[in-house]
Structure 1
Amino acid sequence: MSLFSRRRVLIVAIFILGVSALLFVLEKRNKPQILSRETLFLTGAHLFGKTAGADQDNDGLKDWEETLWKTDSRNADSDGDGTLDGEEVNQNRNPAVKGPNDTLNSQKNQAGETEENWRNDPTLSETDRLAREFFARYWTLKQTTGVISDEDRAALIREFLDSGFGGNAEKPPSLLSLSDLPVAADGSGAALKKFGNEMGSLILKNSPKEKGGELVIFQRAVSSGNIEILKELDPVIAGYRAVVSGAKDIAVPETARESTLAILNSMSRITGALQSVKLAFSDPLRALIGLSEYQKALNSMSQPLMELKSLFLKNAVSFTTDEPGYIFIYAGR
């Protein structure tokens, strides 16, 4: 639980590396039951990068479209039935299914499912649903326009994102209110120091002792493809929860209550985000959303931490390096 890093830029760098590692591992694993290729499509360079207009095999389907159809972007006739992939799509045929019985029903997706079926299927992950939703929008546009231009692609992406991409992420844990925090009898320097040491002690007590934070754990898991490593997030999550729970027993001076509440609620949001991150191997899109939420929650702690630091300094409250409250004075250094 690295709350007081000296180099917050490193956190952002690890976050970016973590996402890249997840996409790399999913591409290698390519397990169809979680639609990892669609996840790669929704989040990867095929859609947003400089190669978005590429068609490596010159079959009439751009590489990002091949990802949607689950065809081979290096093989012009992926199903080997003698017709180019792009021509099959134009003929309302499935380029991933060998003809002649490969006609597409306009009411079904490339997996042969009706929209009603996949929308109401409780076994589908968030990744599965969003991949199918995007394909439905893509196929409607494809049937209408034939060739999808770069402008069409950009509009399709904007429409999809604006419609609530990621809106079904994990619900955040219940947040605290000011009434949950006991009020200290006074706001003296002595009371502030007592609060700082008690809160600092609570945080230090519940911080994992091993080196490396939650993002390092995540990166190790996806880089190695070892789902068991994600279990190392459990004590991290438990640590955040213990701080939030234990803070309810600490008397907080009135002048520190708003900042303390903001920090604790950021921790609660982090626990929810990390629960989503743990789903990297079963619901990768939700994990990516969790990473984004984690970063937002982590960043949201910066301001209230600095406010507490300023409050201590303003009231001439100091801590030695042996006192737990020291972490607040040196937060961000």
Structure 2
Amino acid sequence: MNREYLPSKIFMIKVAFIFVIIATIFGVYKTISYFKNRPSAKAGDVVLVKDVVGKDSNNNGIADWEEYLWGLDPLKNGASNKEYIMAKKKTLSENNPLSAPITGNAAESEALSQEFFAVVVSLMQSGGLTEDSIAKISDTIGQKIVPEQLPDIYTRDMLVIDNKEDGDIEYFQALDKLNKKYADKDMGGELTIIAQGLANNNPQALRIAASIAESYRSFGQELVKLPVPEKIALGHLSLANDYEKIAKSLEGFSEILDNPLVGMKALLNYKKYNDSIASDLASISSNLE
């Protein structure tokens, strides 16, 4: 493990990392975690867990960051905020065994990470994690992590333009055929594998997820060769490039455990270009109407 990150910092990065995973899979979802107030193992560390989780502005025994993630104002309504959160936690605990305490000989920080992940899983179908929530958690790790602008590798002159009268139908048929060809390549399932690898400190799971990158890359290579009507050429080109960019992002996932910040950036890139693919498809659809 990269010694640049002490356990407290690794844990906080993992927390932020899982938040983005859940946001990516489920759109806008609210997630909370319950973890204890523990000091950093080294004086002078940039990020101290006690500083992150210890602040309780309304003195209700629940940290400000946790109240924020429930959509509550931590500066007021202390008693009612606590009543609301505790009721939610009780319901989740009763309805989902994944929120039960974790046992074993894992290191303290890793046990906390697994506990957090169990709670996250139990909350996947409730609440909503906002961009603001992600930003607040990102702030706690003391670094601004933003997605990169990856370069395009495909250009318009590589496209095969098809302006025949039935070109629209042929395009959709070809695209459907390509999608079916890759249906068993686990594309879209990589975040589940990533989450499992992160929760269990399993580098093999992360390598498997990273290997799915080649399927995205190959899909983009085949996509750019499909005959495409002129009116959707730009959207089609962007789609092919975004598949390649997701491939590049996935390749960085294997570093999550050893270099969490690099892994976090890879995940944010993945989310950015996954969202871009949705925009590409919407553009293609609207231009064919």
TM-score with structure 1 length normalisation?
0.46
1:35 lines up with 2:38 in the alignment:
no
Deviation at 1:219, TM superposition (A): 0.5
Number of equivalenced pairs: 181
Aligned with residue 159 of structure 2, among 164, 176, 181:
181
**Helix, strand or coil at the partner of 1:262:** helix
Aligned with residue 203 of structure 2, among 212, 227, 233:
227
Q: Partners in 2 of 1:64 and 1:200 — Cα distance?
A: 54
RMSD: 3.7
Q: Give the conservation status (yes or no) of the 8 Å contact 1:176–1:261.
A: yes
Q: Which residue of 1 aligns with 2:254?
A: 278
**Helix, strand or coil at the partner of 1:300:** helix
Residue identity matched to 2:150 = P
Q: Give the conservation status (yes or no) of the 8 Å contact 1:273–1:294.
A: yes
Q: Which residue of 2 aligns with 1:242?
A: 218
Q: Partners in 2 of 1:239 and 1:43 — Cα distance?
A: 26
Q: Which residue of 1 aligns with 2:45?
A: 68
Q: Which residue of 2 aligns with 1:265?
A: 241
How far does the alpha carbon of each residue in 1:16-74 deviate from its partner, in whole angstroms, 9 at most, with x for none?
Answer: xxxxxxxxxxxxxxx463524344456768xxxxxxxx997xxxxx769857179997x
Residues 32/274 of structure 1: CA separation in 2 closer, same or farther (3 Å cut): closer
Q: Partners in 2 of 1:243 and 1:208 — Cα distance?
A: 13
Deviation at 1:286, TM superposition (A): 0.6
More deviation, 229-238/259-268: 229-238
More deviation, 191-200/201-210: 201-210
Q: Partners in 1 of 2:161 and 2:267 — Cα distance?
A: 34
1:213 lines up with 2:186 in the alignment:
no
Deviation at 1:245, TM superposition (A): 1.1
Q: Give the conservation status (yes or no) of the 8 Å contact 1:34–1:282.
A: no
Q: Partners in 1 of 2:152 and 2:159 — Cα distance?
A: 15
1:310 lines up with 2:280 in the alignment:
no
**Helix, strand or coil at the partner of 1:68:** coil
Residues 250/212 of structure 1: CA separation in 2 closer, same or farther (3 Å cut): closer
Q: Structure 1: where are the runs of 5+ without partners?
A: 1-30, 46-53, 57-61, 74-153, 315-333
Residue identity matched to 2:153 = L
Q: Partners in 1 of 2:196 and 2:158 — Cα distance?
A: 37
TM-score with structure 2 length normalisation?
0.52
Q: Which residue of 1 aligns with 2:277?
A: 301
Deviation at 1:174, TM superposition (A): 4.5
Percent pairwise identity: 17
Q: Partners in 2 of 1:236 and 1:41 — Cα distance?
A: 27
How far does the alpha carbon of each residue in 1:175-224 deviate from its partner, in whole angstroms, 9 at most, with x for none?
Answer: 2121121111x252x11111111122223312435596111010011112
Q: Which residue of 2 aligns with 1:151?
A: none
Q: Give the conservation status (yes or no) of the 8 Å contact 1:237–1:271.
A: yes
Q: Partners in 1 of 2:49 and 2:227 — Cα distance?
A: 62
